[in-house]
Amino acid sequence: MDYINVSANAKINIALDVLGKRPDGYHDLRSVMQTIDLKDNIYIRKIFTPKIKIVSNVRFLPTDERNLCHKACKALFDKYNPDFGVYIEIDKNIPVSAGLGGGSADCAATLIGVKELLKFPVSYNELLDIGKTLGADVPFCMEKGTMLAEGIGDRLTRLTDHPPVYILLAKPNVSVSTAKVFSNLVIEDIKRRPDMEAVISAINRKDLKAIAENLSNVLETVTIKEYPMIEHIKRRMTELGALSALMSGSGPTVFGYFENKENAWEALKQIKSEFRLREIFVSGIS
Ligand code: ATP
């Protein structure tokens, strides 16, 4: 085998709560996270010099040491000093700096792909630990599915699979820095927190309406203050038939739950033209 293709799926945060700030600067979170169909494809080929070469279809994405795929390779190369190297093509579909965890997903896929391709004797649990050092969401992106994430987001408990639903993802044409959103969050000012027990119980019952009623994210107020369009898109989604809509992660992407496929596509057409969006998709649960 001299190449491998790995899927790097995006995530949404169905519920996201921030409990406090830790002495190391990170925040303690509780979040129900869900893998979705929207994905990047990571193509990895073995090359005969011990180098890491990255290309991508997104012009502005760094392809040097700053790229999370590069960091993933470097972590493994430093440990195993291979005679071979890798050439990686990132075929990006997940919007960047969007709250959809695209960078963490690419990082997770690269760890899994490079281990497999270069046959590094690293156990899956060790790989999860390496992932954790590269980004709090990387272990979730390796594990995939429906999970409760705690701690800095890296302590995972698998939940019952989420019932099927059509998800409309709409990204306003702005990029949001996760670090900036967290630094602007005043924990004492949080008024409405997600009811995690209600979310988890709704998922256990596969009760889509109850899940939709409990979508909640404490970071919304911070990002919406800067980009009110997020609130307008949410409202438009529900007017166009979504059971409910929410901002994912630190934003700015809004996702809406639709029971009906035609409805979701009709809403996509409307919202795309009304808000002049470039990045808008219908996806499913994965
Ligand atoms: P999260 O929801 O986890 O906060 P996000 O969706 O807001 O993530 P990402 O798209 O994961 O944000 O990436 C944010 C930053 O990471 C950008 O500044 C980007 O340049 C950098 N980055 C490095 N490697 C990648 C990659 N392979 N794909 C996307 N972004 C990357």
**Any idea what the CATH number is for the domain that residue 234 is in?**
3.30.70.890
- Count up the domains in the chain and report the number: 2
Same domain, 13 and 152: yes
Task: Determine how β-strand 52-56 pairs with β-strand 3-21.
Answer: unpaired
Lookup: tokens for 217: 């994210």
Where in the sequence is the domain holding 9, given as residue range(s)? 3-158
Q: Is 110 in the pocket of ligand 1 (CB under 6 A)?
A: no
Report the separation in Å between the CA atom of 94 and the middle of ligand 1, taken as the mean of its atom positions: 10
Asked if pLDDT for residue 72 goes beyond 90, the answer is yes
Task: Give the span between the Cα atoms of 11 and 167, in whole angstroms.
Answer: 11
Task: Give the span between the Cα atoms of 85 and 270, in whole angstroms.
Answer: 47
Asked if pLDDT for residue 1 goes beyond 90, the answer is no
The one-letter code for the residue type at 47 is I
Same domain, 34 and 176: no
Task: Give the span between the Cα atoms of 208 and 257, in whole angstroms.
Answer: 9
Task: Give the span between the Cα atoms of 77 and 114, in whole angstroms.
Answer: 10
Which pTM value belongs to this model? Answer: 0.95
Task: Give the span between the Cα atoms of 173 and 252, in whole angstroms.
Answer: 9
Asked if pLDDT for residue 175 goes beyond 90, the answer is no
Q: What is the mean pLDDT of residues 263-268?
A: 98
Binned at pLDDT 50, 70 and 90, residue 201 comes out as very high
Neighbours of 74 (CB within 10 A): 13
User: Among 97, 154, 230, which residue has the most ligand 1 atoms within 8 Å of its CB, making it the best to mutate?
Assistant: 97
Provide the pLDDT for residue 280: 98
Same domain, 215 and 129: no
Whole-number average pLDDT of the chain: 96
End-to-end distance of the chain based on CA atoms, in angstroms? 27
Supply the Cα-derived Rg of the chain in whole angstroms: 19
- Point out the residues that are catalytic: 11, 137
Task: Give the span between the Cα atoms of 23 and 183, in whole angstroms.
Answer: 14
Same domain, 82 and 179: no
CB 53, CB 88: distance < 8 Å: yes
Span of 107-121, 125-139, 173-187 with lowest mean pLDDT: 173-187
Task: Determine how β-strand 254-258 pairs with β-strand 3-21.
Answer: unpaired
DSSP-assigned letter for residue 223: H
Asked if pLDDT for residue 229 goes beyond 90, the answer is yes
Q: Is 106 in the pocket of ligand 1 (CB under 6 A)?
A: yes
Same domain, 95 and 194: no
Provide the pLDDT for residue 26: 87
The domain boundary, picked from 158, 193, 214, lies at: 158
Nearest to 46 by CA among 8, 16, 92, 86: 86
Same domain, 121 and 216: no
Lookup: tokens for 145: 């599915």
Asked if pLDDT for residue 158 goes beyond 90, the answer is yes
Provide the pLDDT for residue 236: 98
Asked if pLDDT for residue 99 goes beyond 90, the answer is yes
Q: Is 178 in the pocket of ligand 1 (CB under 6 A)?
A: yes
Same domain, 12 and 143: yes
